Structure 1
Amino acid sequence: MRVFKFGGASVKDADGVKNVVKVLKEVGHENTLLVISAMGKTTNAMEEIVDAYFDDKTEIVHKIDAVVEYHNGILKELFPNHQHQVYKDVKTLIEEVKGFLAWNKSPKYNFVYDQVVGYGELLSTAIVSAYFEEIGIRNQLLDVRSFIKTDSSYRDTTVIWEKTQEHISKIDRSILNITQGFLGSDENNFTTTLGREGSDYSAAILAYCLNADSVTIWKDVPGVLNADPRYFKETQLLNNISYREAIELAFYGASVIHPKTLQPLQRKEIALHVKSFLNPMESGTTVGKGVGIEPEVPCFIVKKNQVLMKLSSLDFSFIVEDSISELFKLFHEHKMKVDLIQNSAISFSVCVDNKFGGLQALLDQLKSKFKVVHQEGVSLYTIRHFNSKALESLQNGHEILLEQRGKETVQLVVK
C-alpha cells in the first residue's frame, strides 16, 4: 500500500493534472491512495472569501467568482464537453459555499474559515477524479472528512486517533482512491482543518491507519534540499535523512515537510519519499530509520516576519519558574508559536511567530506585568550541522539581534 500526496503546484492547471496521470503511468497506481491539495493558490483565494465575509460582504461575490473562473478554465481544457457531469459537481460545491455564508450565524473567524477554505480541496479532487475516469483510470473519490475525525479546535485541530483508525480501516484498497488533504471533521460533522500545509499530515495519518509501506510527497523540487532555493543561491539535495533529523528540521521550520507529518510515520517505520513530479523516476529524498543525513552538509532554515520580544521584570526581581510558566500560558492562549527562547536572571527574550494575529492582545497583557520591548519583521535563521563558513555566510551583511548556539545548531535573529 502506498500513499501519494500531490500539492497545489502539481495540479495548478490542466497540464498539471495531465502530468499527475503521467507520473502514475510511470510509477504505477496499484494499491495506491492519492491525497490531493487545492489547485494552485486556491487556498489563498478561499481565505480572501472568508476575509470578505468579515470585513466587506460586498466583495464576497467578486471573490467567489474569481475562484469559479479559475476552476472553469481548468475544466474547459480537461473536459471539452461542457455537459459533462463534473461541471454540475463543481457548481454544486460552489453553491454549498454560498449557502453556508448565507445561513451562518457564528461570529467566530476560525469556525467560518474551516467551513469555507476546505472547499479548495473538494473542488480539486472532484476535478481530478472525474478526469481520471474520463481517460479510463477507474477510481473512488473519498470525502476525507468522513475518515479523519478531530476535536473542534478549528484551524489547528487535533486528531482523534481511535475514531480515525476505525473509519480509515473501512477503505476499499482494491481500487485507486482519491481524497483531500488538510481536512477532517469534528463530532458534529463540521469541517476542521489540520493547519496550513496540513496535506502532508493527512497523508501520514492515512498511511499510519492503513499500515502503508510508504508515503511519497510529490513536489516541484528534486527532494529535500539543505536550504530553500527562494532564499539561498547554492543548495544541495539530501539523499537520505533519519526520522529524527527530519523532525529536527521540521521543528525549526523547514518548509518541505510539515512538522506533524513525521511522528505517525516514525511510529510504524513507514518510509517517506520526497520526489519531483517533473522527474518522477529520479530517486529524490528518503526519510527513514537511520543515522543523521547524507551527505552531511549544513542545513539552512529561515523563518520570515517573526517577532522578537525582550521582557524584564518591572521591579528587577528574578524571572524564575513561576514567571516563565505564566508567560508560556499566555503564549498558548494567544496562539503564538515560540521558536527561540533565551533568558537571564532578570530578562527573558523570545522569538515568536504571530501567524494567528494575536500579538497586540498579548502585548497588552504582558505590559501589565513586565517591561516589554518588541521588534516585528525580524527573521530567524537556523543552521543545523553548522561550520564556520556557514555561520559567516549569515553574519555578513545582517544585524544580529540575538544568537543562540548549541553543539549542532545555531540560531540567529536578524534584522
Structure 2
Amino acid sequence: MKIFKFGGASVKDAAGVRNVFDVLQKVGYEEVLLVVSAMGKTTNALEEVIKHYFEKSPKLSASIQEVKKYHNQILLDLFEDESHEVFYDVNEHFADFEYFVRSNKSPNYNFVYDQIVSYGEIISTTIVSHYMNYKGIQSQWIDVRNYIKTDNNYRDANVDWEITQKAISKIAKKKQLFVTQGFLGSDENGFTTTLGREGSDYTAAIFAYCLNAESVTIWKDVPGVMNADPRYFENATLLNQISYREAIELAFYGASVIHPKTLQPLQRKEIPLYVKSFVNPLLPGTSVSKGEDLEPKLPCFIVKKGQLLLSLSSIDFSFIMEENISEIFGLLHKYKIKVSLIQNSAISFSVCVEDKYNHFNELVKVLSKKFKVTYNENVSLYTVRHFDEKAMKMVEKDKNVLLRQMSRETLQVVTKE
C-alpha cells in the first residue's frame, strides 16, 4: 500500500479537490490510503470559534456560521445536485459540532480544542471521499479515531503503538482507496485527541509503519524540499535526495516541510518518503530515504520567527552549575516551553525558546526568584546546516546579532531585525 497525504492548501477550494482527483488519475489510486487535512485555513477559523467560546463572546455563532458557509460553498461548487448525500453527511457533522459547543461542561481548554478543531478534518475528508465516488473512483471513508489510539495528552497526544497496530492491520489486505483524516486520534474513552500542529504528516507515517507501506508521499504546492524557504531566501534550490538522519536534523531545527515526528517510524522500517508537487505530480520531487545525506550538497537555511531569547545569570555571581541547569530545564518542561538553542558560560545561561502555550510570563516570575532574568521578545533564529563563510555572511547581513553558536555542521544565529 502507498500512503498519500494532502494538506490544507491542496484542498482549500473546489478546484483543489478536483486537482486531488486529477493527481490520483495520473499516479494511480489502487491500494492507496489518502490522509487529508482540514481545508485551507479551517483550523485557524476553528481556533477563533474556540476563542469566542471561552470568552463567551457574542461572535461565537457568527464564527461557526463562517466555517459552515465556507464548506457549503465548496460543496455547491463540486456537486450539481443539492440532494446528494454529501450535503446530509456534512450537515450531520456540523450538527454534532454545534451540539458539543452547546452542551460541553469541561473547562479544560486543550480538551475542548481537540474536540472542536477535529471537525475540520472530519468534514474535509467527507467531502473528498464523496467527490471521489461521485467522479468514479471508488473510495472508503474511514474515521482515523477508530485506528490511531493515544493517551489523553490533548493537543499533543502520544500514540499507543500496540493498540494502533492491531487496529490498522485490519485494513491491510483491502485493495481499494481509503480516505481518512490527518492530525487526529482518540483516547481510551473515545474522546478525540490531536497529534500536535502539522500532525497530518505524522498520521501518514503511523499508517505507513503499521501497514509496512511501500512509500509515503506528501503532496505540496512546492516541487519538493528546498534548501531554504523561498519566502525568506532568494535562489532556493530543490534537494533531490535527503537521508533520514539529515531530514531529522532539518526537522529538529524547524524545517517546515517535514514534521519532526514523521521521520522516526519511517526510518525504522526504511520506508521512503517523497515530497512532490500536486501541481506537477509526475515530477520526481524529493526523496527522503536511506542513502546520501544531501544531493546536491548545499547549505540548508531554516528560520524561526517570533522566538524569545531568555538569559539567566546568578544574582550573587556564583557559577551556574549542573543543579541550576537541571532546575531550569525542569521548569521549561513544566511550562511546556520549547527550547531551540542553548548557550551557557560560568555565570550565565541563555536559551532561545518558543512559547507555544503562552506560559512564558509565568515561567519568568518563577525564575526571577532565583536568577537575574533578561529577555528579548520577537527574535528570529536562523539555523544553517552545512554552512560556509558565504552562508554565514548572508544570514547576518543588516541584522543585530544577539547570539551566535557554531558546531562542525551547524550555525545558529539569534537576531533582532
If the length of structure 1 is used for normalisation, what is the TM-score? 0.99
Match of 2:6 in 1: 6
Q: Once the two structures are superposed, what CA deviation does each residue of 1:331-358 show, in whole Å capped at 9, x if it has no partner?
A: 1111110000000111100000011111
Aligned-partner Cα distance in 1 for 2:55–2:364: 24
Aligned-partner Cα distance in 2 for 1:25–1:105: 46
* 1:411 and 2:395 correspond: no
Matches within 5 A, 1:121-160: 121-160=121-160
Match of 1:78 in 2: 78
In structure 2, the gaps of 5 or more residues are: none
Aligned-partner Cα distance in 1 for 2:84–2:148: 30
Match of 1:249 in 2: 250
Aligned-partner Cα distance in 1 for 2:325–2:106: 35
RMSD (CA atoms): 0.7
Matches within 5 A, 1:50-199: 50-171=50-171, 173-199=174-200
* Residue 206 of structure 1, CA deviation: 0.5
Aligned-partner Cα distance in 1 for 2:390–2:317: 40
Aligned-partner Cα distance in 1 for 2:300–2:121: 32
Aligned-partner Cα distance in 2 for 1:334–1:33: 37
> Partner of 1:58: helix, strand, or coil?
coil
* Residue 291 of structure 1, CA deviation: 2.8
Match of 2:338 in 1: 337
Aligned-partner Cα distance in 1 for 2:99–2:69: 19
Match of 2:294 in 1: 293
- Amino acid in the other structure paired with 1:189: G
Aligned-partner Cα distance in 2 for 1:349–1:323: 13
* 1:47 and 2:72 correspond: no
Aligned-partner Cα distance in 2 for 1:122–1:173: 22
Aligned-partner Cα distance in 2 for 1:220–1:82: 31
- Amino acid in the other structure paired with 1:328: F
Aligned-partner Cα distance in 1 for 2:238–2:348: 40
- Amino acid in the other structure paired with 1:54: F
Aligned-partner Cα distance in 2 for 1:271–1:313: 48
- Amino acid in the other structure paired with 1:55: E
Match of 1:201 in 2: 202
* 1:317 and 2:330 correspond: no
Aligned-partner Cα distance in 1 for 2:341–2:385: 15
Aligned-partner Cα distance in 2 for 1:411–1:195: 25
CA contact (8 A) 2:202 2:262 kept: yes
CA contact (8 A) 2:304 2:382 kept: yes
* Residue 90 of structure 1, CA deviation: 0.9
CA contact (8 A) 2:89 2:126 kept: yes
Aligned-partner Cα distance in 2 for 1:280–1:36: 17
* Residue 286 of structure 1, CA deviation: 0.1
Aligned-partner Cα distance in 1 for 2:330–2:174: 44
Q: Once the two structures are superposed, what CA deviation does each residue of 1:207-235 show, in whole Å capped at 9, x if it has no partner?
A: 00000010000000000000011111210
Aligned-partner Cα distance in 1 for 2:107–2:268: 39
Aligned-partner Cα distance in 2 for 1:356–1:288: 33
* Residue 60 of structure 1, CA deviation: 1.2
> Partner of 1:305: helix, strand, or coil?
strand
